[in-house]
A and B are shown apart, each in its own frame.
Chain A
Amino acid sequence: MSVRGTKIEIQGLSQRYPTRKVPTFNRVDLVSPPGEALAIIGRSGCGKSTLLHILAGLTKGTEGRILLNGTEVAGPSPRWVMMFQAPHLYPWMTVTENVGVGLTFARWGKKEIAERVNDAISLVELQEFAQANVQDLSGGQQQRVALARSLVMEPELLLLDEPFSALDAFTRAALQKDVRSISKRLGFNIVIVTHDIDEAVIMADRAVIMAGSPGDIVHEMDVDLPNPRDRTDPEVQKLRARLMATFQEAANYRKPEVALAGAVH
Chain B
Amino acid sequence: MSEAATPAGAAGEPGAAGLAAAQGLRRLLWGVAGIAVLAVLWLIAGSMLENNPRTTNFATFGLIPTLEAFPQLWAAGKIQAASIASGYRLGMGLGIAIAIGVPIGVLMGRVKWFQQYSNSPFQFLRMISPLSWMPLAVLVFATWDGSIIFLIAIASVWPVIFATAAGLAKVDPAWFKVARNLGASPLQMLTKIIMPAIAFDIFSGIRLALGVAWIVLVPAEYLGVTSGLGYAIEDARETLSYNHLTALVLTIGCIGYVLDGTLVMLIKRFSWHRGGAN
Contact = CB atoms under 8 A, between A and B. Distances in A.
A102 B192 CA distance: 11
A264 interface: no
Contacts of A58: 177, 180-181
Contacts of A209: none
A114 interface: no
A170 interface: no
Contact of B175 (A56, A82, A90): A90
Most chain B beta-carbon neighbours within 10 Å: one of A58, A82, A88: A88
Instruction: Determine chain B's interface SS by DSSP, over half rule.
Output: helix
Interface of A: 56, 58, 76-78, 81-82, 84, 86, 88, 90-93, 101-102, 104-106, 135, 149, 153
Given A91-B272, A92-B197, A92-B272, A101 B182 contact: yes
Contact of B182 (A92, A93, A102, A135): A102
Contacts, number: 53
B183 interface: yes
A88 B172 contact: yes
Contacts of A92: 196-197, 270, 272
Interface size class of B (residues with CB under 8 A): 20 to 34
B184 interface: yes
A82 B197 contact: no
Most chain A beta-carbon neighbours within 10 Å: one of B184, B196, B273, B274: B184
Given A84-B174, A105-B188, A135-B274, A90 B193 contact: yes
Contacts of A90: 175, 193, 196-197
Contacts of B183: 76-78, 102, 105-106, 153
Instruction: Determine chain A's interface SS by DSSP, over half rule.
Output: loop
Contact of A86 (B174, B181, B274): B174
A76 B272 contact: no
Given A88-B172, A88-B175, A78 B272 contact: no
A205 to B, nearest CB: 24
Nearest to A93: B196
Contacts of B249: none
A218 to B, nearest CB: 29
